[in-house]
Amino acid sequence: MRFIKLSLPILLLLFLTAGALPRVTDRPPDPRVEKLLARMTLDEKIGQMSLFTTDWGSTGPTIREGYKNDIRKGACGALFNSHTVAFTRELQRIAVEEARLKIPLLFGYDVIHGYKTIFPIPLGESCSWDLAAMEQSAHIAATEAAAAGLHWTYAPMVDIARDPRWGRVMEGAGEDTYLGCRIAEARVRGIQGKGPGNTDAMIACVKHYAGYGAPIGGRDYNTVDMSERFFREYYLPPYQAAVKAGAMTVMTAFNDYDGVPASGNKHLLTDILRKEWGFNGFVVTDYTSINEMVNHGVVANDKEAGELAVNAGVDMDMQGAVYQRFLAQSVKEGKVKMATIDASVRRILQLKFDMGLFDNPYKFCDETREKEVILSKAHRDAARDVARKSIVLLKNDRNVLPLSKDRKIAVVGPLADTKNDLIGAWSGAGSGDDCVNLLEGLSNAGIRPVAVAKGCAVEGDDKAGFSDAIQAANQADVVLVVVGESAWMSGEASSRAELNLPGVQEDLVRALVATGKPVVVVLMNGRPLTIPWLAANATAIVETWWLGTEAGNAIADVLTGVYNPSGKLTMSFPRSVGQVPIFYNERSTGRPFDPNSKWTSKYIDMPNAPLYPFGYGLSYTTFSYGDPSLNKSTFKKGESLQITVNVTNTGNRDGEEIVQLYVRDLVGSVTRPVKELKGFRKVFLAKGATTAVSFTLTDKDLSFYNKNMRFGSEPGEYDIMVGGNSQDLKKIKAIMR
> What 8-state DSSP symbol labels residue 668?
-
Rounded to a whole number of angstroms, the minimum distance from the CB of residue 158 to ligand BGC is 12
* Cβ-based nearer residue to ligand BGC, 288 or 420: 288
Q: Provide φ and ψ at 134, rounded to 5°.
A: -70, -40
User: What is d(CA 510, CA 537) in angstroms, rounded to the nearest whole number?
Assistant: 8
Rounded to a whole number of angstroms, the minimum distance from the CB of residue 204 to ligand BGC is 12
* Cβ-based nearer residue to ligand BGC, 287 or 358: 287
Is the distance from CB of 290 to CB of 315 less than 8 angstroms?
A: no
Residue among 23, 83, 207, 379 that touches ligand BGC (CB under 6 A): 207
* Cβ-based nearer residue to ligand BGC, 287 or 353: 287
DSSP H or E run through 708: none
Question: Vertex 609, ends 606 and 615: CA angle to 5°?
Answer: 150
Does position 292 bind ligand BGC by CB under 6 A? no
623-625 and 629-630 as β-strands: parallel, antiparallel, unpaired?
A: unpaired
Task: Please return the burial class of 598, using the count of CB atoms within 10 Å of its CB with bins 0-12, 13-18 and 19+.
Answer: exposed
Rounded to a whole number of angstroms, the minimum distance from the CB of residue 203 to ligand BGC is 13
Rounded to a whole number of angstroms, the minimum distance from the CB of residue 206 to ligand BGC is 11
* Cβ-based nearer residue to ligand BGC, 116 or 207: 207
**What residues are paired with 694 via a beta bridge?**
644
* Cβ-based nearer residue to ligand BGC, 78 or 504: 78
User: Is 594 considered catalytic here?
Assistant: no
Question: Vertex 456, ends 450 and 462: CA angle to 5°?
Answer: 140
User: What is d(CA 566, CA 615) in angstroms, rounded to the nearest whole number?
Assistant: 11
Rounded to a whole number of angstroms, the minimum distance from the CB of residue 261 to ligand BGC is 14
Rounded to a whole number of angstroms, the minimum distance from the CB of residue 492 to ligand BGC is 5
Rounded to a whole number of angstroms, the minimum distance from the CB of residue 427 to ligand BGC is 13
Kindly write out the interface string for residues 213-242 of this chain, putting x where it contacts ligand BGC by CB under 6 A and - elsewhere. ------------------------------
* Cβ-based nearer residue to ligand BGC, 207 or 389: 207
Does position 287 bind ligand BGC by CB under 6 A? yes
Q: With helix as H, strand as E and coil as C, how does 465-534 read?
A: CHHHHHHHHHCCCEEEEEEECCHHHCCCCCCCCCCCCCCCHHHHHHHHHHCCCCEEEEEECCCCCCCHHH
What does each C-alpha distance from 58 to 61, 375, 489, 531, 691 come to in angstroms?
8, 20, 20, 36, 53
- Kindly determine how many residues on this chain lie close enough to bind ligand BGC according to the rule CB under 6 A: 6
> What 8-state DSSP symbol labels residue 168?
G
Residue among 110, 159, 175, 421 that touches ligand BGC (CB under 6 A): 110
Residue among 67, 119, 152, 154 that touches ligand BGC (CB under 6 A): 154
- Helix, strand, or coil (residue 585): coil
Rounded to a whole number of angstroms, the minimum distance from the CB of residue 411 to ligand BGC is 35
Q: Find the radius of gyration of the CA atoms of the chain.
A: 27
Rounded to a whole number of angstroms, the minimum distance from the CB of residue 55 to ligand BGC is 13
> What 8-state DSSP symbol labels residue 120?
P
User: What is d(CA 347, CA 274) in angstroms, rounded to the nearest whole number?
Assistant: 12
| Per annotation, catalytic residue among 286, 302, 317, 342 | 286
Kindly write out the interface string for residues 482-521 of this chain, putting x where it contacts ligand BGC by CB under 6 A and - elsewhere. ----------x-----------------------------
User: What is d(CA 102, CA 378) in angstroms, rounded to the nearest whole number?
Assistant: 38
* Cβ-based nearer residue to ligand BGC, 87 or 154: 154
Does position 286 bind ligand BGC by CB under 6 A? yes
DSSP H or E run through 281: none
E-only strand ranges, 572-728: 623-625, 629-630, 634-635, 641-649, 655-665, 676-685, 690-697, 704-705, 711-712, 716-723
Task: Please return the burial class of 732, using the count of CB atoms within 10 Å of its CB with bins 0-12, 13-18 and 19+.
Answer: middle
DSSP H or E run through 340: helix 338-354
* Spatial strand order in the sheet of 451-453: 392-396, 540-543, 519-524, 478-484, 409-412, 451-453
* Cβ-based nearer residue to ligand BGC, 286 or 370: 286
Task: Please return the burial class of 599, using the count of CB atoms within 10 Å of its CB with bins 0-12, 13-18 and 19+.
Answer: exposed
Residue with CB nearest ligand BGC?
A: 154
* Cβ-based nearer residue to ligand BGC, 230 or 287: 287
* Cβ-based nearer residue to ligand BGC, 112 or 504: 112
Rounded to a whole number of angstroms, the minimum distance from the CB of residue 494 to ligand BGC is 12
User: What is d(CA 700, CA 687) in angstroms, rounded to the nearest whole number?
Assistant: 36
Secondary structure of the chain: what % helix, strand, coil (to 5)? 35, 20, 45
Rounded to a whole number of angstroms, the minimum distance from the CB of residue 110 to ligand BGC is 5
* Cβ-based nearer residue to ligand BGC, 53 or 691: 53
Q: What is the binding site for ligand BGC (CB under 6 A)?
A: 110, 154, 207, 286-287, 492
Looking at the annotation, which residues are catalytic? 286
